[in-house]
Amino acid sequence: MTERQTTLEVPVSIEGQGLHTGTMGTMTFQPAPANHGIKFKRIDLKGQPVIDATIENVISTDRGTCIGNNGAKVYTIEHVMAALRGMNIDNAMVELNMEEVPIKDGSSKFFVEAIKKAGIKELNAEREYIEITENITMEIPEKKTKIEIRPSKRFSLSVTIDFESRVLGEQTATMDDIKEFPVKISPCRTFVFLHELEFLLKNDLIKGGDLNNAIVFVNRQIPQEEMNYLADMFNKPRVKVNGNGILNNLSLYFDNEPARHKLLDMIGDLYLLGKPIKGHVTAYRPGHHANTEFARIISDKISVLAND
């Protein structure tokens, strides 16, 4: 059975604040024609520049995946890219009047809900896949990272994280089919260790940060004055550490929510290949840098095979 490319039925907008910049703004998913792919448009800049969401345009993976072209940039696109892939959207123009995607709750849930609200439209063009025909492996020994993809009739992933911490050790998450994404993967939120949060706060790097858009893990004893400082910074009446080593700002949706979120990130980063993949990914200790480097390896392999 031939699969058709898709786009959105109607435009749909999401308002929110950028995590790192703190800028408030609006992001709008616009329908796009067949073979358009996923593109981002900065409507707040002169000439409204458009940036293709492709691996070639990745310019930074520091605490998120950033794409840019000719001076125009869009930060933290991975959760949006994951939502588009998870909802099987092939073509869309993502308009922004800010330089960073709204963080919302640190997951893809709000983007998935927006796409459902807009509706999905089939187009008169066949969907094309990147079909993996041989095993491809990448290792980064100094980070203990290993990622492999092998041939499969569908897209599936198994992701293992290990922060070698009492509160966040080894966890594994799997997704056997992209159909699982909206319910089992999209609600899973980003996470951070308290010492990272303190560094970011002191260096003014999370201007849009809120205790509601990240799971905060705590792996040491914290003096009360430090807890009071955190509460003041985030306008919370009281902050404490729960028994499972996370701040009491929220509860986990799944026991392995951090691993599921890393799987979510990988889905978004791999969609920068421009087409959905047919292959099974196994990843140990992935991250945005590793994900995008692996996508480059796949892209290079595809180019070589195409020229043979």
- The answer to whether 280 is a known catalytic residue is no
The rounded Cα 97 to chain-centroid distance in angstroms is: 20
Residue among 36, 79, 288, 289 flagged as catalytic: 288
Kind of pairing, strands 50-52 and 38-42? Answer: antiparallel
The rounded Cα 143 to chain-centroid distance in angstroms is: 20
**Tokens at residue 105, please?**
């709750």
For residue 274, how many other CB atoms are within 10 A of its CB? 17
Indicate the burial class of 35 (C-beta count within 10 angstroms; 0-12, 13-18, 19 or more).
Answer: exposed
Are 136 and 148 contacting, i.e. CB atoms less than 8 angstroms apart?
yes
CA-wise closest residue to 301 among 52, 131, 59: 131
CA-wise closest residue to 128 among 38, 53, 35, 39: 35
CA angle, 301 then 302 then 305, to 5°: 85
Which amino acid does the sequence have at 286?
Answer: P
Kind of pairing, strands 58-60 and 66-69? Answer: antiparallel
Neighbouring residues of 253: CB distance < 8 A, sequence distance ≥ 6: 187, 188, 189
**Tokens at residue 302, please?**
């595809």
What are the backbone angles phi and psi of residue 114, rounded to the nearest 5°?
Answer: -65, -40
- CA atoms lying within 13 Å on the CB side of residue 110: 16
Are 117 and 216 contacting, i.e. CB atoms less than 8 angstroms apart?
no
**Residues known to be catalytic:** 288
